Amino acid sequence: MNFKPKSKHELARLKDEELIAYAVAARDAGEQAEFQEALKQFVASRIGLVDYWVGSKVGANDRDEVVGNAMVSIIKSVGNFKGSSAGEFVEWMRSITRRRIADHYRDSKKDPGSVPIDEQAADEEDWGPVLGEPDETGSVEVRMVIEEQIKARNAVQQEVIRLRIAGFSSIETAENCGGEKMTATNVDKIFSRFRKDVEKELWGEP
């Protein structure tokens, strides 16, 4: 198979499905490092989505810790992803996040209420090895990076980023932000820059 590696900057310019397609091609070619790097790029643009999932089920006092635990689990186990589409990867991330939410309630002996535990999910080993407790500083850093990068933008850009993170398409986001002055192309540029800045803060220069 003729696989051509891309730089981090090139990966940051890819749209979601293109990024996952590249990751799958790398995996099929036996390029595990390239496969994992591409998925980490995707994860960098979905930190806010993990925060949203956790925030809808966990109180504010424990939110940072659970988000950090989920992000550490996702990043450390990206090499175990077996799917082939962006949608599958988002669901994979969501399953891991659900497990970390369940861990939080089990460990703290709190009532999880309506926490949606997927009883049909694969065993833990399918998601990678059992992970130890993450460094607390790293957990806080994940939240700080995403929040700082969003707050560094103007109000319209912040709304664009939050809508894209929540799963709205570029066209849908444009229709809800800035009226006729905002286009899907503008949305893509804003979100691409956001992804690159988050990735730079988390993993440094390419």
Looking at per-residue confidence, does 126 or 179 come out higher?
179
- Burial class from Cβ neighbours inside 10 Å (0-12, 13-18, 19+) for residue 120 reads exposed
Mean confidence (pLDDT) of the chain: 77
Residue pLDDT, tens place only, 130-153:
223 334 444 456 667 777 888 889
Q: To 5 degrees, how large is the angle CA 171–CA 36–CA 125?
A: 105
0.85 surpassed by pTM: no
3-state secondary structure of 97: helix
Buried b (16+ CB within 10 A) or exposed e, 52-70: bbbeebbeeeebbbbbbbb
Q: What is the pLDDT of residue 109?
A: 56
- 28: pLDDT confidence band, cut at 50, 70 and 90? very high
Q: Which overall architecture, per CATH, does domain 139-203 show?
A: Orthogonal Bundle (1.10)
Summarize pLDDT for 56-79 with one digit per residue, the tens.
888 888 888 888 889 989 988 888
Are both 8-137 and 139-203 of the same fold? no
Which CATH number is correct for 8-137, 3.40.50.720, 1.10.150.130, 1.10.1740.10, 3.40.1640.10?
A: 1.10.1740.10
Domain borders along the chain are 8-137, 139-203
Residue type, position 126, single letter: D
